[in-house]
Amino acid sequence: MNTRLLFTLMGMLIELLNPSMAGKIALPVAHELNTLENHVCGQRRGYFPFDLATRIVGGVEAYPGEFPWQVSLQVLRKKPVEHDIEKNPSSSYHICGASVISSDYILTAAHCVKDFSKDKLVVIAGDHNILQFEGPEQASRLLNVKIHENYNPQSFEADIALLELASPLFLDGNRVAPICLPSTSKASKSVAVASGWGTLEQYGSLPNVLYQVALPIMPTESCQAMYNTVDYGAGDFIQKGMLCAGYKDGGRDSCQGDSGGPLACKQSDGTYTLCGIVSWGFGCAQPNLPGVYTDVFYYMDWIRANSL
């Protein structure tokens, strides 16, 4: 039976989880999503311009703080070392990526959270090496998990979830800052970059540090046509609310463990917009099988309606 390989580590989880730990209390900041414009969003930090031809799979290590909106979604272990989760990487472990959109809200993929209660999850912002405490990390437990009501685990339609934090993040504008949300479907999607702590090859090992890979956005029709030419058989794999990114020849892609993380598109003013959420694909970096992402703009009404 043909199955779609999710870019997540759910199948690798082997430990039961402890819901008893309280979230970290951060400095108070503005809470409402509609005040997001009052914060500087989408500012990529301290990087050198990337080349779409350079060789996540086929990616390169990010600079610490380069993607301040990047979040690691983690599962608590049975016996956390101590109260301050972010100071003890061994107290939880990475399963998916996610994105900061405000001090109180995080966006990720529905398939990352559908099998967990909110008490079993923690988000770590400001991280680079997920196996070491470096100082800028901020941890928060979850107050609420909202999965899109139309999420379909078979087709991966509406693969989006909104996480409300129990303790707001301190948006320091350096290691922790929001990514911009798309205000129009015409937002530039010509240059995109995916980031995450996912495997560097299909079924490969996980990196300790954050990786990035540059990917071109692919027309939906071309993406659907590619999927219809492979041995999985014809079908309407690419649904409304999805977008594709990758190369016809493969070689560069998001992979297991990157699920829920950002596909960030560079705008004409140099800022980055969250145009996609890592969702699904057949394998990783395979020819004629680009990665498929949740189209964030398609769900903007839902995001705003559930984050006030």
- Residues carrying an active site annotation: 111, 159, 259
Contact between 178 and 69 under an 8 Å Cβ cutoff? The reply is yes
Report d(CA 282, CA 296) in Å as an integer.
21
Phi, psi dihedrals of residue 267, rounded to the nearest 5°: -100, 170
Give the sign of the dihedral formed by CA 156, CA 126, CA 213, CA 191: positive
Closest CA to 113 of 258, 306, 260: 260
Report d(CA 253, CA 307) in Å as an integer.
30
Contact between 291 and 262 under an 8 Å Cβ cutoff? The reply is no
Q: What does the buried/exposed string (b/e) look like for 238-271 if buried means 16 or more CB atoms within 10 Å of the residue's CB?
A: bbebbbbbbbeebebbbbbbbbbbbbbbbbeeeb
H-helix segments, the chain: 110-113, 220-229, 300-305
Contact between 278 and 254 under an 8 Å Cβ cutoff? The reply is yes
Is 114 exposed, middle or buried (CB count within 10 Å of its CB: 0-12, 13-18, 19+)?
middle
Contact between 212 and 194 under an 8 Å Cβ cutoff? The reply is yes
Report d(CA 48, CA 248) in Å as an integer.
26
